[in-house]
Amino acid sequence: MTESIRTQKPSSRDDTGPANFNNRGPGRINPADKKQLKLHPVGLKRIAALFAPHKATIAVVVLLISVSSIVGLAQPFLIRGIIDNALPHKDLRLLALLAGAMIAVAAATAFIGVIQTWMTTGMGQKIMHTLRTRLFTHLQKQSLAFFTRTRSGEVQSRLNNDISGMQSVITSTATGIASNVTTAVATAAAMIVLSPQLSLLSLIVIPPAVWFSRRVALLRRDITSTMQAELATMNTYVEEGLSISGVRLAKTLGTTDRDAARYTASSERLIGLELRSQLAGRWRMASMSIIFSAIPAVIYFAGGLPGTTLSIGTIVAFTALQSTIFRPIMGLLNLGVQWVTAMALFSRIFEYLDMAPDITAPAHPVALDPATVRGEVRFENVHFAYDGGTEVLRGINLALPAGTTTAVVGPTGSGKSTLGALLPRLHDVTAGRVTIDDVDVRDIAPEVLARIVGVVSQESYLTHASIRENLLLAAPDADDATLWKALASAQIADLVAGLPDALDTMVGARGHRFSGGEQQRLAIARTILRNPRVLVLDEATSALDNTTEAAVQLALDHLAVGRTTLTIAHRLTTVEDADQLAVLAGGELAEVGTPAQLRDAGGAYAALRAAREAERSSPELEPAV
């Protein structure tokens, strides 16, 4: 299943969301919806299970719809009574009674409509809440591999757009079907009661009217689909061109004029599409106007033919019923399209809910108290491959004594970061095991492992919130004194204190309010608040200049005191003080020892140092290790 998710191309609804569902109108079934249902069929029992807790609400809503449809049909009969009896005979009492009944019917149907909307909206929101929270929680359990191979826009579309589209299914489509069926049947019965002859005439007039209206609607549907695709393209241009990273890229590459021209061309295409759409809409409205005018005209003409005994009131009432039956018939004709579209929405949501996480929480976790963990880490015959491909790590055996610092170096692509990611279970080993105090990390509850193992990586992530809120992610109950102490240990307290809003300063999207080194130190302060017993420092200073690196390294040194630390090193200068040094080459452990021992051994580490020394004499940068 995950393979199909990885390779399938999302439909236009991925970008346009529920608007595509709501605006589809009469027309053909979307091929993308048919493909989705073929890839991931949906059982009716599963959908019914979502509605099961709301059986009473559904029963009441169906009853209200039926009552509203039936009560609404009283209007034409009341009109007939006024025209045929009250007005010709000047019967003011009867006129007042019938007119009052018309007002009462209108008030009753309006009141029922409000109650119906309140109940269906409440039920829809509860079902959407259930799906939304279930999907969000389930996606949180997915491994990094899932988010690496899946577009973030696709995830957001299913979580937001598709589930929001369910509101239309529940409050519009489902209730619309019930209302259309009830109204069509009741109206047809009322028409037969009023005049069987005119009812027969309607059977001749309605089919061509419906066909013509659908043909016009098809044109607008196709134009609307093209417009939505173009709008999706424009949204992509906005996201790529006006995000912080996109603006930075455009300014550094000098592509601002090109990006503006691309956006302008897309906007110009929308002009023509919008014009065609509006004209198609006008043609549709014009055709509908002609149809609605023609039907009463034919009825009036038939009522005036010689030998007709129908009263004027009956003809007027029948005309009203004739116009009433057209809408539900059109709605029922679109039932197939609406059904497939609704099922496709369910399919897309259930498809994600059915994905088994690559990394699962243990059914019976080992009881491990983070406060008493010694922090002895072992990699025992560890093998790892991404998605069943070539092994990135092979037969790694490495021990990290409690409270010591182990640095891992090696050429780019040797598996350093992958090794570090296995300890906090960002990935699971293909074979072998990783242990903390002789307990396999796969047997530790995820929330406990997160308290034991802290990670500081090259790409520190700060949420678009205040400094205080970012720090409290690690320790929700920490007071300001604790926050300032953590900032001081991270060598950034003075900078934060000098800001106008201090702890309440907004960090900006992805932390862009601060420099890379400042972001790193804020991330370090957050990790200090977490107080983990084991640390993974994944090239935390590799992207920094020498001055900033020195400040961050000092913060890292404070953080590492008394903790078991695994340092993934990019620069050899950061590993000289490590208690232990491990060299990876081609996914295998080439040598292990103290930095001094490996310098004198003349092996892989000595070769890396020699290469660095050679590079220092040239203008090239120090090679990545």
List the one residue out of 543, 570, 560, 555 whose CA is nearest residue 417. 570
Q: What are the residue ranges of helices labelled H in 150-255?
A: 152-156, 163-168, 175-194, 196-242, 244-253
Query: What number is the average pLDDT over the span 255-268?
Result: 84
Q: Measure the CA–CA gap between 583 and 410, rounded to whole angstroms.
A: 5
Residue 8 — very low, low, confident or very high, per pLDDT cuts 50/70/90? Answer: very low
H-assigned helices in 243-333 = 244-253, 256-303, 312-333
If one counts every other C-beta atom within 10 angstroms of the C-beta of residue 479, the result is 9
pLDDT at position 419 is 92
Q: What is the pLDDT of residue 219?
A: 60
Q: Where are the alpha helices (DSSP H) in 459-499?
A: 467-472, 480-489, 493-497
Helix (H) or strand (E) holding 37: helix 31-39
pLDDT at residue 521 is higher than 80: yes
Q: With 90 as the cut, is the pLDDT of residue 431 above it?
A: yes
| Strand arrangement of the beta sheet that strand 588-593 belongs to | 453-457, 534-538, 564-568, 405-409, 580-585, 588-593
Q: Is the pLDDT of residue 279 over 80?
A: no
Nearest by Cα to 403 from 581, 533, 557: 533
Q: What is the pLDDT of residue 449?
A: 92
* Of 603 and 5, more confident: 603
**Residue range 262-288: mean pLDDT, rounded:** 74
Q: β-strands 588-593, 453-457: how paired? A: unpaired
- Evaluated on CA atoms 268, 273, 279, 281, the torsion sign reads negative
Mean pLDDT is highest, among 3-12, 20-29, 59-68, for: 59-68
Q: Is the pLDDT of residue 488 over 70?
A: yes
Q: What is the pLDDT of residue 383?
A: 94
Give the pLDDT of residue 16.
37
Looking at residue 65, its pLDDT comes to 87
Residue type, 589: L
Q: Residues 349-361: pLDDT tens digits?
A: 888 888 877 788 8
- Structure tokens, 438: 């002789």
Residue 388: exposure state from Cβ atoms within 10 A (0-12, 13-18, ≥19): exposed
Grade residue 82 by pLDDT with cuts at 50, 70 and 90.
very high
> Is beta strand 377-385 parallel, antiparallel or unpaired with respect to 391-400?
antiparallel
pLDDT at 569 over 70: yes
Given a cut of 70, whether residue 23 has pLDDT beyond it is: no
Strands 534-538 and 564-568: parallel
Strands 580-585 and 588-593: antiparallel
The mean-pLDDT minimum among 176-190, 406-420, 442-456 falls in: 176-190
pLDDT exceeds cutoff 50 at 439 = yes
- Looking at residue 333, its pLDDT comes to 66
What pLDDT score was predicted for residue 210? 65
What pLDDT is stored for residue 100 in this prediction?
95
- Look at residue 6 in the predicted model and tell me its pLDDT: 37
Residue range 15-34: mean pLDDT, rounded: 49
First-residue to last-residue Cα distance in the chain: 37
Look at residue 438 in the predicted model and tell me its pLDDT: 92
Residue 285: per-residue pLDDT? 59
Give the mean pLDDT of 88-92.
90
> What is the mean predicted confidence (pLDDT) over 185-212?
77
How far apart CA 137 and CA 125 sit, in angstroms, is 18
| HEC per residue, 198-209 | HHHHHHHHHHHH
Structure tokens at 330: 């059109």
Which has more confidence, 502 or 152? 502
Coil, strand or helix: which one is 62? helix
Q: Check whether 222 has a pLDDT greater than 70.
A: no
One-letter amino acid of 110 = A
Strand partners, 506: 466
How many CB atoms neighbour CB 490 within 10 A? 28
Mean pLDDT of the chain: 78
Output the CA angle 385-386-387, nearest 5 degrees.
115
Minimal CA–CA distance to 604: which of 623, 589, 587, 618?
589
Average pLDDT of 121-143?
Answer: 83
Distances (CA, A) of 118 to 14, 111, 114: 29, 11, 6
The pLDDT score that the predictor gives to residue 511 is 58
Which pLDDT score, from 0 to 100, does residue 15 have?
A: 39
| Model pTM above 0.85 | no
Please indicate whether residue 101 or residue 612 has the higher confidence score (pLDDT).
101
Query: Do 244 and 510 form a contact (C-beta atoms < 8 A)?
Result: yes
What was the pLDDT predicted at 2? 39
Residue 22 pLDDT greater than 70, yes or no:
no
Helix (H, G, I), strand (E, B), or coil: what is residue 368? Answer: coil
d(Cα 524, Cα 462) in Å, to the nearest integer? Answer: 11
Picking from 377, 380, 379, the residue whose alpha carbon sits closest to that of residue 436 is 377
pLDDT band at 432 (very low <50, low <70, confident <90, very high): very high
Confidence of residue 216 (pLDDT cuts 50, 70, 90): low
pLDDT score, position 406: 92
Q: Which pLDDT value is given to residue 266?
A: 83
The CA-based angle 19-334-328, given to 5 degrees, is: 105
Between 605 and 308, the higher pLDDT residue: 605
Q: Could you tell me which residue, 59 or 25, shows the higher pLDDT? A: 59
pLDDT given at position 268: 85
Q: pLDDT digit string (tens) for 369-416?
A: 888 899 999 999 999 988 777 889 999 999 999 989 899 988 878 888
Which of the four pLDDT bands, split at 50, 70 and 90, describes residue 463?
confident
What gap in Å lies between CA 229 and CA 357, rounded to an integer?
A: 32
Rounded Cα gap, residues 151 and 156, in angstroms: 9
Q: Is the pLDDT of residue 261 over 90?
A: no
Check whether 435 has a pLDDT greater than 90. Answer: yes
Q: How far is the C-alpha of 424 from the C-alpha of 397, rounded, in Å?
A: 17
| Of residues 615, 616, 625, the one with CA closest to residue 569 | 625
**Mind giving me the DSSP string for 509-543?**
GGGTTS-HHHHHHHHHHHHHHH--SEEEEESTTTT
